[in-house]
Structure 1
């Protein structure tokens, strides 16, 4: 006897949003250079990208976990000022886990699908993220206390 299976309801929801994989986990840090050195020395991670993003108020680094970035990255986020979102996060919570990010096929479509499901997003339209990606965030109060970032990589990334 064979069983016919149908997609789980959760799988249909994921498909409707266009989630592809975990993109990165973001960690708020006070000193970016010291944090990069720590993760390289202790965990053997490799820094594959750094940039300053004034729009988001951060200096950031992406660290590869393992031999490639295909399995996702660790993103380190240091504030450019105390009143930036990461500066405020550090003031409230101290250093540590700040977000979980998912790669999506189309951030505008994913944002619309999540809004249709009653979730609040932080931006009306996607903004520029790391390496010219397009991003939006799900409000943590609508995602079990977790800040969820949606990332549509820039063409060619």
Structure 2
């Protein structure tokens, strides 16, 4: 296993503009246009902080995981995400060690990434995402 880097921290919010206010007050700049990730039912607004992003997530449909999260817990920290070079290999390695995933195979993520989520029960109550960037790269 290689050393993992923090890829992003995701914050659930019912409204991107209201959710963005604290980060913009801190002087953070939006990283590209908002992006819809249809497979996850979310719209994402990202802010670059060094080599890491703060991603604000808002639901695009009432049955999305973010909508369910907001209904149960309200706005706030949703998950942490870690960059991996080979998502398939990392999933296989973790499964051998007993890790539980929310899906059996990677799914499309923001900006052309492939992602997989580990079950929060495995993560001691924290949702953990693994992110593979195209061509092994990171953020622009």
Return the TM-score normalized by structure 1. 0.82
C-alpha contact 1:139 1:148 (8 A) present in aligned 2? yes
3-state SS of paired residue (1:101): strand
Which of 118, 129, 132 lines up with 1:152 in the alignment? 132
Q: State the partner residue of 1:3.
A: none
Structure 1 stretches lacking a partner, 5+ long: 1-15
Cα RMSD, aligned residues only: 1.3
Q: 1:33: how far off? A: 2.2
Unaligned runs of 5+ in 2: none
**Match of 1:30?**
14
Match of 1:9 in 2: none
- After TM superposition, where is structure 1 displaced by more than 4 Å over at least 4 residues in a row? none
2:4 aligned counterpart, secondary structure: strand
**Residue 91 in 1 paired to residue 71 in 2?**
yes
Per-residue Cα deviation, 1:50-90 (whole angstroms, up to 9, x for no partner): 2011111000011112xx4x2x1111000012211000000
Largest Rg, 1 or 2: 1
Correspondence 1:110 to 2:79: no
Structure 1 residues 6-40: Cα deviation after superposition (integer angstroms, max 9, x where no partner): xxxxxxxxxx2x44300001100000122224311
TM-score by length of 2: 0.91
Corresponding position of 1:136: 116
User: Which aligned pairs between 1:68-83 and structure 2 lie closer than 5 A?
Assistant: 68=50, 70=51, 72-83=52-63
Offset from partner CA, 1:99-119 (integer Å, 9 cap, x none): 000000111111111100001
Distance 2:60 2:24 in 1: 22
Are the counterparts in 2 of residues 27 and 76 from structure 1 also a CA contact under 8 Å? yes
